[in-house]
Amino acid sequence: MRTPDLASAARERFAQRVGPAESLAADADLLVRAARAMADRFHRGGTLIAFGNGAAGTDAHHVAVEFMHPVIIGKPALPAVSLTADVASLTALAGRPGLPDVFAHQIRTLARPADIALGISADGGCVNVLRGLREGARLGLLTVALFGGAGGGGAGAGGVGVGTGGVGTGGAIGSSPEADHVLLARSGDPRVVKEVHVTAYHLLWELVHVFLELRGLPVPQAGSTGRVDPAGSGVLVAGRRP
């Protein structure tokens, strides 16, 4: 029996990851715009609220940890939570009102208008992720989506249409009816989608800090009971998040 050429197979697998990453890189301006908007919300005292199902749920954990516990020494912690972290609440809500509303219900209960809703879905078609984003938009949150799919008029089975932001040269969606900022990992392989998503939210983290530092904005520390003066004075004032 002939021994398979595993080295060639490995090279082929690496090659399969080049296209989706290059597509997102071609639309780096979309990533920059999303990060700028996120930095503005953090400056206003907002919290990042991440959510997703299955492997995307672990990405939500990962994102929250990145912002709450920066791996680069000297970077300030930024408030972030994952809606998939509390198993008791998640399973209770799955029973009633039901799995499709587990994220929307939590956002409706916990979120404030200055917050950021980050929904993650490998195919862009997870009903509860889409409902969470819609509820966030209804409440005035900044909405950011990390979706995946093979391309076309929408992201995956969800049929997420392209809104005013249009589709960039590489295939990342600028905006859609589901979110203010949508970044698409253009691949039908969920493993590749996840890898591109990890890169995308690492870059979002990095760029958010760049914008905060360039603007010299004070950042409320995680766990703070105050908020930044919405009038723009940069003074931390007492009170709940706006």
Residue 125 near residue 117 (C-beta atoms within 8 A): no
Q: How far is CA 68 from CA 45, 140, 153, 219, 220, in A?
A: 14, 23, 35, 12, 12
8-46 per-residue burial string, b: 16 or more CB within 10 A, e: under 16: eeeeeeeeeeeebbebbeebeebbebbbbbbbbbbbbbb
**pLDDT tens track of the chain, all 242 residues?**
466 788 888 888 877 778 777 887 887 899 999 999 999 999 999 999 999 999 999 999 999 999 999 888 889 999 999 999 999 999 999 999 999 999 999 999 999 999 999 999 999 999 999 999 999 999 999 999 999 985 433 444 333 332 223 333 334 444 456 799 999 998 888 988 999 999 999 999 999 999 999 876 555 444 443 333 333 323 222 233 33
Query: Tell me, what's the pLDDT at 115?
Result: 98
Would you say the pTM of this structure is higher than 0.75? yes
The single-letter code of the amino acid at 102 is V
> Residue 152: is it exposed, middle or buried by C-beta count within 10 angstroms (0-12/13-18/19+)?
exposed
Q: Is CATH 3.40.50.720 the right assignment for the domain spanning 19-216?
A: no
Strands 226-228 and 236-238: antiparallel
In angstroms, the CA 160 to CA 238 distance is 40
- Name the nearest CA neighbour of 202 among 40, 46, 21, 17: 21
CB-CB neighbours of 129 under 10 Å: 32
Q: Which residue has the tokens 């997870």?
A: 126
Domain ranges of the chain: 19-216
